[in-house]
Amino acid sequence: MATAKVPLSDLISLVSDPCRVDPRGSYPNLGIYSFARGVFGKPPIDGAQTSATTLYRVRSGQFIYSRLFAFEGAYAIVPAEMDGVFVSNEYPTFEVDQDHLLPRYLYWLFQRRDVWRQVAVGAKGMGDRRQRVHPDKVLSYRIDLPSLGDQHRIVEKLDRVAALVDERRNAIEAAERETQALLLKAFQRAIDGAPLRPMAEVAPLVRREVEIEATREYTEIGVRSFYNGIFHRRTMPGSEFSWQSLFWVKEGDLVFSNLMAWEKAIAVAEAHDEGTVGNHRMLTCEVNPKLATPGFLMAYFRTYEGFSSIVGHSPGTIARNKTLSSKKLPTILVPTPPVETQKWFDRLRAKTQEAHAIRANTAQDVESLIPAMLHEIFNGGAKAA
């Protein structure tokens, strides 16, 4: 189906509905999410507090964008519930000629990353991706313009699939929440009445000092915040490490970043971490197999109670100075039910992780569906459903 390619200036027009700011007034305000995720309500602008002398009223169905963040997709259509709210002059607003262009069609067109890039750099390929995008660049952008009937069919198809994607995404998130709730309940059952023992007994801090050889290569680890695991920072010859102390990491170690433990930088070393090294900031605890399993202790430190014990043993009043003390860590008390109970919980947790991986893959497939459809529909000219 052949379509005419026309500049947006033939289809949308820059509009302005200025309103003089009254110091006694309060003005509902909106912002625009990056990556074409729509608009959001911001706190009202207090006329007595703002430095702006003029604000601009927007209306439902108008096309709007952020000059500063257009390069990363801050484009949207004003929804009905935001009709009449106000923005600054950093948000150019356009009326859409709905006799020729559906606002929802324009919305879907601007879901595409290649469109943001093309608009940001302009027709001649000039410009900085972080440079404010002038309305002239938007207006000069040329689009394929199918008939209104074809636009309706394209919009209906994309909206229908988007609703199914949302439904599936919500189902995946609900299943994940339910699984985590059941896992926490199982953990609480496992520790009910269990004796508390200090980390010094259950998983003592160990320092396996490395005798650094200048020509040998060593892989240094770090621990990501928010329980996101161990990462390999760098691999370098020993000559590059000669100024510091290094310590061997073994599979099964419970590893704490003493600088970032307050931000949940806690992890269990896996098989591929065996033989890596950590600096003095990495606190490695070797779990006593007669008393605990690494996975069970990690599960405890992911609970509110367990993480609170970490924060409580990290002196300091400012976040970045809340260092987990190597002297205090061994004194933290942890629950120690029978090891067989801990292994039962570990097996249960492994099953939930398998389910999580399946859901994550499904979610990735679901999220890739809309971009694939947009590519199919808009590349080389829009096509009817």
Query: Of 112-126, 249-263, 368-382, where does the model show the most confidence?
Result: 249-263
Q: Please write the tens of the pLDDT for every residue from 45-92.
A: 999 999 999 999 999 999 999 999 999 999 999 999 999 999 999 999
- Looking at 3.90.220.20, 3.30.1490.20, 3.40.50.960, 3.40.50.2300, the CATH number of the domain 4-145 comes to 3.90.220.20
Taking the domain 196-336, which CATH number applies?
Answer: 3.90.220.20
Model pLDDT, residue 383: 43
Same CATH topology for 4-145 and 196-336? yes
Q: Please write the tens of the pLDDT for every residue from 140-149.
A: 999 999 999 9
Model pLDDT, residue 179: 94
Residue 126 has pLDDT above 70, yes or no: no
**For all residues of the chain together, what is the average pLDDT?**
92
Q: Please write the tens of the pLDDT for every residue from 195-230.
A: 999 999 999 999 999 999 999 999 999 999 999 999
Residue 123 has pLDDT above 70, yes or no: no
Residue 346 has pLDDT above 50, yes or no: yes
Q: Where are the domains of the chain?
A: 4-145, 196-336
What is the maximum span of the chain, computed from C-alpha positions, in angstroms? 77
Model pLDDT, residue 316: 72
Model pLDDT, residue 5: 86
